[in-house]
Amino acid sequence: MSGAAGAVAAGSGDRVVRWVVPAYNEEASIADLIDRMAEVSAEQGWRYTITVVDDGSADATGDIAKSKAAEYPVTVLRNEPNAGLGRTIRRGLKAAADAAGPNDVIVTLDADLTQDPGWVPSMLARFDAGGVDVVIASRYRKGAAVEGLSLFRTMLSFGAGALVLLVRPIAGVRDYSCGFRLYRASTIAEGFARDGDDFISEKGFACMVEIAERLRGYADFAEVPFILRYDAKRKESAIKIGPTIQAYFRVISKIAATRRKPVPWLTLVAAFLSVVLAAFAQRALMAGVAGIGLHLSALPTLLTALGTFPVLTGLGLYAVSALLWLGVLSRMELAVAYPLGGTAYAMLVVLSAVGGAQVSAVRWLGAALVFTGAIVVSYLGVSPRKGSLG
């Protein structure tokens, strides 16, 4: 079958599964990967295409991929010179999205055989279940596993993902860096329409975090477990953990900075008042129950407590605090509400100490951790600055 762009293998239905594979010096694995993608597609009865983007390989990766066009609908694009993973995946996604029909999906995966195409049917099944635009093959879901990766590299990878999850969570996502994904083709097309080439501006491995960040405002995500076969690699990994983690945070900060909302002053005041009222409510309740005898049974104790002014005051303050906080959550995403609440809590601990109250070391530590988290989330998330959503 010809390798011309747009060639599609015969199959059932009006949907085309568009495989996109970025490849750099993968001559040892590219032929087997193409065979495997074609095998899975044929078993499932899919109409499909395969686009290999050769990122200026110094070996025979491109030539081997082109030779497969005699058997399958393979298109080979070549970067000259090497442009990096980000620009390579951008080129492949753009080509696939431009050729896609309204029902098509795009599947991206690595060229090194670590991500078996045999997992794609489960990804497509989750997609067809509805409610999502992106399905990620995740290393962090029940049933997932990583084989052949050292404990040190596993912990570094997990730690990097956990940091991203902490400071910039996306509903439905735990594995931010895995490139094994299924996208609704129209969602990718919308990304390019919104951001142009800036849809993917990172050159390196952090581009996968960038794609998720770009899509978070208008796409819904889900994950399915898979087994990463690191032991199937036929060459050394090119990823450098330290620079990649730095790139993750550069991406998050850059995108968040272009999509900040105007300062919601009334909501900020409501959030702070909510925390302050909760603190006063706690003090009122403690004062109200202090004089109640513990010899009474539960029901008499409760009735006695409810008959005291401090307890009634505390419950009322808690109710108002809860209503205010519900209003805050209805107007803000958690990445904003957490810094507000955390900062207010830390301030209350400081004010308690200034007022002469005994503050334990544990409470000081908790306040410090909460406040540090608030600073990180505010800066990398959506801290208030003038501007509008991009």
**Rg (alpha carbons) of the chain, rounded to whole number:** 27
Give me the pLDDT at residue 376, please: 59
Q: Which residues pair with 181 in a beta bridge?
A: 108, 136
Q: What is the CATH number of the domain that holds 215?
A: 3.90.550.10
Instruction: Decide if 106 is inside a domain.
Output: yes
- Residue 180 · residue 103 · CB < 8 Å: no
For residue 321, what is the DSSP state?
Answer: H
User: What are 208's two structure tokens?
Assistant: 């996968």
389 domain residue, yes or no: no
**Helix 361-380 × helix 151-167 angle, to 10°:** 80
Mean pLDDT of all residues in the chain? 78
Do 1 and 70 meet the contact criterion of CB atoms below 8 Å apart?
yes
> 241, 258, 275 — which closes off a domain?
258
- Give the model's pLDDT for residue 177: 82
Tokens of 385: 């600055």
Q: What is the pLDDT of residues 87-143, one digit of tens each?
A: 999 999 999 999 999 999 999 999 999 999 999 999 999 999 999 999 999 988 889
pTM over cut 0.85? no
Reading the chain (390 residues) residue by residue, the pLDDT tens digits are 334 445 676 666 789 999 999 999 999 999 999 999 999 999 999 999 999 999 999 999 999 999 999 999 999 999 988 898 899 999 999 999 999 999 999 999 999 999 999 999 999 999 999 999 999 999 888 899 888 776 656 666 666 666 666 666 788 888 888 899 999 999 999 999 999 988 998 887 778 888 998 898 889 999 999 999 988 776 665 555 556 566 666 666 665 555 545 556 676 677 677 777 777 777 777 777 666 655 556 666 667 767 777 778 878 887 887 777 667 666 655 555 555 566 666 666 676 676 666 766 766 776 676 666 666 555 444 333 222 223
Cβ proximity of 311 and 305 under 8 Å: yes
Asked if 201 contacts 184 with a C-beta cutoff of 8 angstroms, the reply is no
Q: Is there a contact between 56 and 83 (Cβ–Cβ < 8 Å)?
A: yes
Note whether 101 and 50 are same-domain residues.
Answer: yes
Does residue 330 fall inside a structural domain? yes
In a domain, 7, yes or no: no
Structure token digits, residue 17: 């599964």
What domain count does the chain have? 2
| In a shared domain, residues 221 and 352 | no
Q: In this structure, is residue 87 part of a structural domain?
A: yes
Same domain, residue pair 97 and 231: yes
Residues 243 and 304 grouped into a single domain: no
Q: Reduce the DSSP state of residue 389 to 3 states and report it.
A: coil
What b/e string do you get for 355-381 counting C-beta neighbours within 10 Å, with b at 16 or more? eeeeeeeeeeeebeebbebbebbbbbb
Same domain, 251 and 277: no
Is the same domain home to 254 and 274? no
Report the pLDDT value the prediction gives residue 63, as an integer from 0 to 100: 96
The residue out of 191, 224, 258 marking a domain boundary is 258
Query: Do 164 and 299 share a structural domain?
Result: no
CA angle, 74 then 55 then 6, to 5°: 25
Q: Which residues contact 206 (CB under 8 A, 6 or more apart)?
A: 86, 177, 244, 247, 248, 250, 251
Confidence at residue 228, expressed as pLDDT on a 0 to 100 scale: 92
Residues 295 and 151 in one domain: no
Question: Is residue 196 in some structural domain?
Answer: yes
Tell whether 183 is covered by a domain. yes
Domain co-membership, 81 together with 187: yes
39-45, Cβ contacts within 8 angstroms, sequence gap of 24 or more = 39/117, 40/117, 40/118, 40/120, 40/121, 41/9, 41/11, 41/17, 42/9, 44/121, 44/124, 45/11, 45/12, 45/13
187 and 272 belong to one structural domain: no
Does some domain include residue 10?
no
Q: Which residues pair with 223 in a beta bridge?
A: 136
Choose one of 258, 273, 293: the last residue of a domain. 258
Note the pLDDT of residue 337: 56
Q: Are residues 158 and 216 in the same domain?
A: yes
b/e code 203-228 from CB counts within 10 Å (16+ = b): bbbbbbbbbbbbbbeebbbbbbbbbb
pLDDT value at residue 382? 36
Residues 231, 286: one domain? no
Please tell me the predicted confidence (pLDDT) of residue 388: 27
User: What domain range includes position 351?
Assistant: 265-380
pLDDT tens track for 243-261 = 656 666 666 666 555 554 5
For the sheet containing 134-138, what is the strand order? 74-78, 47-54, 16-23, 105-108, 181-184, 134-138, 221-225
